[in-house]
Structure 1
Amino acid sequence: MSLMGERLQAACPPYSAVLAGAPLWALQMLASAMSTLYVRNGLRTSHVDDLAILYFAGGLLAWPFALMLGRFFAHRRRIETRFAAFFVALSACTILMTAFLFAMDYRVFYSRWHASPGSVIWFVQFLFTGASSVYQFMVLGLRLFFPLGLVCLLATSFALAKRMR
């Protein structure tokens, strides 16, 4: 079997790792967001429930992709490289998935003022609404991953790197 074939085969995690890891990672991202909101303003925001769902769902849906991507790049590597692969995969997938979910929520809110679906104007509105929501998430939403999210990321990346041989 070729190296690429081995990597692809190694990238497929056991179902137990996906089913157990996804809710654990989601809870860590939820705890990160809520702890930052608590420190910043005592959880006094009208959207605390929505933010909790967003960060939980972002972590939950990102986990399978991050696990596969990390396992793909970590296959048959030293522990430092495995750690880096999981660190980058977890952070990128979690941020991208949470930003995507935020963009879809943003899109649903603004869709009532947009043109009918399928038109050129609708496509432009969809593109710019998505881009502006991702920008807003990067400016305001990434802060909720710090500092606890970084600690969770380091610990989880290390645990995954140690686990994979």
Structure 2
Amino acid sequence: MSRARGTGRRTLATLAAGALAWSLLMAASAVLTLCRDGWQEPAHIRAVAVLFGLAAFLAYPVAVILAGWASGGKKFDTRLAAHLFLLGAGTLGLTAAFYGLDHRAYFSQWHAAPFTVTWSIQYFFTVAGAFYQFAAFGMRLYLPIGIPALCLFALWHAAKAR
């Protein structure tokens, strides 16, 4: 019983450490790109880094657990594909969702009264516009560090899942 409990703790600790490392790498990737592009406002850089880091931290454990469940007992290439897809899509999706909520909060001051038909249309198109904007401009912030980190983390999880 204690051995199973200890294994669970190590797994939880490994998952937490992985989530922390993943979030720091995603935040660093965003900061590196923004600094390279010449952003001069440290407060905005910090806000973007927190958004990317928090989304990555929350997406990581869910993606890793789902990928392990979806590919459990399968061949290495299946495990690798599951981890690549779910970790990448989970991180992107949650970051886009957080960005959409932030976008909606900013534009809500110009929207109609809550829960009206007009408000619903404004809400939908504001969030949809934020998702498009994130896809067009935000995803590039993952390029210097995020893609190689995704490959390394997916390889690590696929290899240790044996």
Q: Classify the TM-score, shorter chain.
A: 0.7 to 0.9
What is the aligned-residue identity percentage? 34
Q: Which residue of 1 aligns with 2:17?
A: 20
- Trace 1:112-151 onto structure 2 (pairs within 5 A): 112-151=109-148
What CA distance in whole angstroms lies between the structure 1 residues aligned with 2:67 and 2:35? 31
Please identify, of 150-159 and 115-124, the stretch whose mean Cα deviation from structure 2 is larger: 115-124
Query: Secondary structure at the residue paired with 1:32?
Result: helix
The equivalent of 2:6 in structure 1 is: none
1:44 corresponds to: 40
TM-score of the two chains, using structure 2 as the length reference: 0.88
Report the secondary structure of 2:24's partner residue. Answer: helix
Deviation at 1:45, TM superposition (A): 3.9
> CA offsets, 1:90-135, max 9 Å, x none?
1000000000000000010011111121111111111000000000
Partner of 1:68: 65
In the other structure, the counterpart of 1:152 is 149
CA RMSD of aligned residues (A): 1.6
Task: Select 2:32's aligned residue among 29, 32, 35.
Answer: 35
Aligned to 2:4: none
Query: Alignment partner for residue 95 of structure 2, among 89, 92, 98?
Result: 98
Which residue identity does 2:109 align to in structure 1?
R
Unaligned runs of 5+ in 1: 1-12
1:87 aligns with 2:84: yes
Question: How does the TM-score come out when normalised to structure 1?
Answer: 0.86
Inter-partner Cα distance in structure 1 for 2:49 and 2:142: 12
Work out whether 1:58 is the aligned partner of 2:55.
yes
- 2:46 partner amino acid: D
Structure 2 letter corresponding to 1:15:
L
Runs of 4 or more, structure 1, over 3 Å off, are none
Unaligned runs of 5+ residues in structure 2 are 1-9
